[in-house]
Amino acid sequence: MKYASKQIGDPYRYGGTGPGSWDCSGLAGGAWRKAGVKLPRTSQQIYRAVGKKVSWKGAVKGDLLFFYGSRTHMGIYAGHGYMIHAPNSGSKVKKIKLNGYYKRNFNGGVRPGL
């Protein structure tokens, strides 16, 4: 979480794996790599590769949350109803409050490192 938090304000870049610019899966992969866990490159590959699945209510700090039917977006759960993510082109890495929109579009979570 510390590593992901330090990236807040970095620009989004499609295919970005840092440092300096990120896409959603690049940010997650970079943060977990810093913790000693290697993840695949894309959000769909990460979801398939990590065996420990978590629910919306079961998420803990550091878990990866996935959104939309094809799991094309993801973020890192920051605890207390917040997520750090690299949203989209023209935006920056940010910490956001998970609201009804994200809950409605939630499509699974994983806990890497187990």
Residue 58 has a CB neighbour count (10 Å cut-off) of: 10
Whether 103 is a known active-site residue: answer no
Please tell me the distance from the alpha carbon of residue 44 to that of residue 42, in angstroms, as a whole number. 5
The whole-chain average pLDDT of the chain stands at: 97
Whether 80 is a known active-site residue: answer no
Report phi then psi at 48, rounded to 5. -65, -35
| Catalytic residue (one of 24, 39, 86, 110) | 24
Mean pLDDT over 35-50 rounds to 98
∠ CA 56-52-27, nearest 5°, is 75
User: Where in the sequence is the domain holding 99, given as residue range(s)?
Assistant: 2-110
Residue 114 has pLDDT above 80, yes or no: no
Q: How many structural domains compose the chain?
A: 1
**Do residues 55 and 61 touch, judged by C-beta distance below 8 A?**
no
Using a cut of 0.85, tell me whether the model's pTM lies above it: yes
Whether 73 is a known active-site residue: answer yes
| Catalytic residue (one of 4, 73, 75, 98) | 73
Residue 63 has pLDDT above 80, yes or no: yes
CA-to-CA separations, 43 to 5, 74, 80, 110, in angstroms, rounded = 19, 7, 23, 11
Give the model confidence (pLDDT) of 72-101 as tens digits.
999 999 999 999 999 999 999 999 999 999
| Catalytic residue (one of 64, 85, 98, 112) | 85
Q: What is the CATH number of the domain that holds 96?
A: 3.90.1720.10
Give the CB-side neighbour count of residue 79, counting CA atoms within 13 A. 6
Cis-peptide, bond into residue 87, ω within 30° of zero: no
